[in-house]
């Protein structure tokens, strides 16, 4: 069994080795990209050039054919741009272009956001406390109303208790009176048992 499995494994390896191809992949030719060595305004966006330099004086001239005497060549006409006056450097600090100032601003904004978040959280807590206080006050008003109703009921009960006490006293006096009369009658012999 082991020999049979080993034979199958070797046969499979030979078959797989025969399927591999030795074709070399042809190298892809590199494309040559024309990268200028220096572009005057290539790195600075157009809308932020005044942050670095300002007031250039460039004039355009329309010219005809130009003959170059040194190289004995002639060029077709077109527009020639001439820098009449070079731009001046802007020496006013631009805080949005300074990495340290940008980091400082971001930190201030994060701190401001954190403070704003804390203030909002505190205001929510105060609002929750106001709601709880209002609910407590409403409960207190309801309890006070119940207390007033109980006081009125207690006053009625007290008045009724006084009346009942007076009635009981009158009944007791009446009963005592009757008992006295009964004794008197028994002594006089008018009542039989």
With 60 as the cut, is the pLDDT of residue 192 above it? Answer: no
pTM (2 d.p.): 0.31
- Residue environment code for 26-45, b if the CB has 16+ CB neighbours within 10 A, otherwise e: eeeeeeeeeeeeeeeeeeee
Higher pLDDT, 47 or 137: 137
Question: Mean pLDDT across the stretch 117-122?
Answer: 84
- First-residue to last-residue Cα distance in the chain: 131
With 50 as the cut, is the pLDDT of residue 38 above it? Answer: no
Residue 77 contacts residue 64 (beta carbons within 8 Å) = yes
pLDDT at 152: 92
CA-to-CA separations, 38 to 10, 34, 35, in angstroms, rounded: 63, 12, 9
% of the chain exceeding 90 in pLDDT:
25
Residue 62 contacts residue 82 (beta carbons within 8 Å) = no
Evaluate the CA torsion angle 40, 81, 86, 46 in order and state its sign.
Answer: negative
At 51-102, the pLDDT tens digits run: 666 667 778 788 888 888 888 888 888 887 787 888 888 777 666 666 677 7
């Amino acid at each position: 069994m082991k020999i049979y499995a080993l034979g199958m494994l070797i046969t499979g390896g030979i078959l797989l080795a025969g399927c591999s191809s030795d074709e070399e992949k042809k190298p892809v030719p590199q494309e040559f990209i024309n990268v200028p060595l220096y572009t005057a305004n290539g790195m600075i966006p157009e809308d932020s050039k005044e942050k670095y330099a300002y007031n250039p004086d460039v004039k355009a001239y329309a010219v005809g054919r130009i003959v170059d005497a040194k190289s004995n060549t002639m060029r077709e006409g077109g527009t020639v741009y001439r820098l009449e006056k070079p731009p001046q450097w802007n020496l006013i600090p631009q805080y949005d272009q300074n990495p340290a100032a940008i980091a400082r601003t971001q930190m201030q904004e994060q701190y401001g956001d954190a403070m704003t978040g804390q203030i909002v959280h505190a205001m929510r807590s105060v609002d929750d406390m106001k709601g709880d206080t209002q609910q407590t006050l409403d409960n207190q008003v309801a309890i006070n109303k119940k207390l007033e109703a109980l006081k009125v009921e207690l006053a009625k009960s007290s008045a009724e208790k006084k009346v009942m006490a007076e009635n009981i006293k009158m009944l007791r006096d009446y009963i005592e009176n009757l008992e006295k009369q009964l004794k008197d009658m028994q002594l006089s012999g008018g009542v039989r048992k």
